[in-house]
Structure 1
């Protein structure tokens, strides 16, 4: 992967973006795509990059990945300066005790830790229990409420403090790959198309959406705004090559074996055929899964926007989803970009996507 793209990815991952507080990451996305596309932002905070196509009224193709990550929000500050919090998105309470966090306050990020009762002081029964999130607390080192309130406020967002870590080969670990991996692919598609100098037979919209983790909210409003004929959602999906995941749930999916093309009710079959045929023609490795229902992604709301949209998913295999140590392969990201860019020229006729 080119060095500039890696640096963009690291900036995107390190920018805090819990749902509803995405703008630090969205600013990184906007700055990166500005040389390649017409950039706008809506009242929700969704960011749009448009590359016009040729012809008077070409089909609109919308590619979307969401920038928001799971996190927390400060709910209460007690007399001793401890911060109580609630989850933004799906956070496993197993994970949180003993973790380093950052409270993203008006004056800057404030480091803290989620406290944990020492094992020496716990009864045997307590060691087996999960501490509810509403009983956990953040210690920023404050001596009392007044000292804590001088730095943080109720409503401030919180993220895990974990950064990007290179593993063996092309594997990276980080928080927030769900779904900054998708926003990254969207940005790289815009860059690749712009740098090719080729005018496509489609109006291309690359969208970094918001508030997906709390109900597909940015995907809903951005699809309504763009009113696409074709929608491709770039998301992450469970890699089943870790020891404790059952392949019967999600099929056989491995890191480094290419992006995933799901089939099912959320997927337009002619669009799936274009993507799968492009992968075979261009030698792009892909993996296939089945999702026999609406998916929990922006593809779900795109498909049923207005009069309906021909929708597909391109998913990136990911280990340890919704943890601060999500792991993926850079090759899968690059191949997702290759696949989408190569498939775009085949999307120039609206009638292509009507099932027959």
Structure 2
């Protein structure tokens, strides 16, 4: 699992530019599924055929990033944020500008503190005051590199091992989910199960759950599990009253997120997953959150409604280039999904 999450995380694919990630999923999933196609939105749809209920496993392929909106006369790039960035996280980062001619390294800069007024030094720098420096001589030089309005930009960061089975890198939200689905389908392919399983890599989750909405409408599954990351409460700056989760203690089964404004999970789906975890001695946690949402929010409201929940990996520092997770949790999640497929007919 560590090799797989590293491969996925080190690749680049901001919302709307998920092609690199989709190619990895296609390669990894092909041996384990009966059908594979890409829909009009760019979602990867794969099918493991069966005679029982249909289950949709959804993991979004996109990461948050940036997009070039203006090139000034000196060749510096102004950008918009694609997805939910906390502006100070962007300052002084290395980036990769993804042009049609190939990737170009750059750095995010701003006015140096030495020339700021005292009151400005006390405030965080806004993204609107930042720019990307690729070393261009001028606007024409930048354009000759292949940079244009709309060029996507991602963080220049690779996975590094920390102590005790933990790793750090960019885009674990949600390359973790992609890795989990791949390993789950590997296990499922060797099992005698009755269910039809749709393993779906969705697009543009970070900018509105868009791919989940369209793919779920097209598939109309009986049950859906979104696989994503979530916020733990096990490090300084956050209290257990804000999140009861810890990394390294198993996947998190969502009961409700966004204080119910996102999804209030199907009780039967939650029961199915909890009882499967207990029966198979798979570590798990349950989660009630009041923050963000996942693809499940869009999926469960599709057509006449699809019983759904989320299986998440507790991940520190989400929406930054230095996210941290425990590799063991990836395996706990994929094992839970695979084992749940065996008993799905008993619950639905």
1:42 is matched with which residue: 31, 39, 43?
39
SS at match of 2:90: coil
Aligned residue number for residue 259 of structure 2: none
Aligned residue number for residue 230 of structure 1: 223
Q: What TM-score, normalized to structure 2?
A: 0.94
Shift of 1:10: 1.9
SS at match of 1:348: helix
2:251 is aligned with 1:255: no
**Structure 2: stretches of 5+ with no match in the other structure:** 257-262
Separation in 2, partners of 1:241, 1:277: 26
Shift of 1:222: 1.0
Cα contact 1:262–1:288 (8 A) shared by 2: yes
Shift of 1:23: 0.7
Aligned residue number for residue 159 of structure 1: 154
Aligned residue number for residue 90 of structure 1: 84
Structure 1 segment 168-183 matched on structure 2, within 5 A: 168-183=163-178
2:20 is aligned with 1:27: no
Shift of 1:285: 0.8
2:242 is aligned with 1:244: no
1:137 is matched with which residue: 119, 131, 154?
131
Cα contact 1:210–1:218 (8 A) shared by 2: yes
Aligned residues between the structures: 340
Aligned residue number for residue 304 of structure 1: 301
SS at match of 2:337: helix
SS at match of 2:241: helix
Aligned residue number for residue 207 of structure 2: 214
Aligned residue number for residue 66 of structure 1: 60
SS at match of 2:20: helix
Higher alpha-carbon deviation: 257-266 or 173-182: 257-266
SS at match of 1:213: helix
Aligned residue number for residue 280 of structure 2: 282
Cα contact 2:188–2:341 (8 A) shared by 1: no
SS at match of 2:277: helix
Separation in 1, partners of 2:3, 2:278: 31
Structure 1 segment 320-335 matched on structure 2, within 5 A: 320-335=317-332
Separation in 2, partners of 1:35, 1:343: 21
Separation in 1, partners of 2:215, 2:48: 16
Shift of 1:291: 4.1
Cα contact 2:110–2:129 (8 A) shared by 1: no
Separation in 2, partners of 1:255, 1:267: 22
Separation in 2, partners of 1:289, 1:8: 26
Shift of 1:208: 0.9
**Structure 1: stretches of 5+ with no match in the other structure:** none
Cα contact 2:167–2:324 (8 A) shared by 1: yes
Cα contact 1:266–1:299 (8 A) shared by 2: no
1:337 is matched with which residue: 327, 334, 348?
334
SS at match of 2:173: helix
Shift of 1:8: 2.9
Show CA shifts across 1:271-309 (max 9, x none): 11111011111111111122479x611111111111111
Shift of 1:130: 2.3
1:146 is matched with which residue: 124, 134, 140?
140
Separation in 2, partners of 1:291, 1:110: 39
Cα contact 2:14–2:153 (8 A) shared by 1: yes
Cα contact 1:74–1:84 (8 A) shared by 2: yes
Cα contact 1:259–1:287 (8 A) shared by 2: yes
2:312 is aligned with 1:318: no
Show CA shifts across 1:327-346 (max 9, x none): 00000000001111111122
